[in-house]
Amino acid sequence: MGVRPISQSGDNDMWVEDWALRAACRETAKPDELFVRGAEQNQAKQVCQGCPVRTECLAEALDNQIEWGVWGGMTERERRALVRRHPSASWRKILETARTRAQTASA
């Protein structure tokens, strides 16, 4: 358990199932710092930059329609806009596919 390959190419691309244990915010932020309002959200989003599990975190928030806080580098307003446009989407599947395509294109 933990991670599973998302591509058949044999490279190290993985979807992390236990992503919360690997999140940058786990080490660098207090939980309250990610649940702020207004301009403070931009600072909170900085914690997500370079996070190794940013995609997994974002998929979790989108698929579960989490309404509060910064998740995967997006505010609740930004996430709501995505969900409104695609209310029945599987965000994990969409983000897995996008990651695989981006990595394939850059290889």
5 phi and psi angles, rounded to 5 deg: -65, 145
Cβ proximity of 76 and 69 under 8 Å: yes
State the number of CA atoms in the 13 A half-sphere of 9 facing the CB: 11
70 is in an annotated binding site: no
Cβ proximity of 83 and 97 under 8 Å: no
51 is in an annotated binding site: yes
21 is in an annotated binding site: no
E-assigned strand segments in the chain: 3-5, 14-16
20 is in an annotated binding site: no
Measure the CA–CA gap between 38 and 93, rounded to whole angstroms.
Answer: 30
Residues of each annotated binding site for [4Fe-4S] cluster: 25, 48, 51, 57
- Binding site as annotated, residues: 25, 48, 51, 57
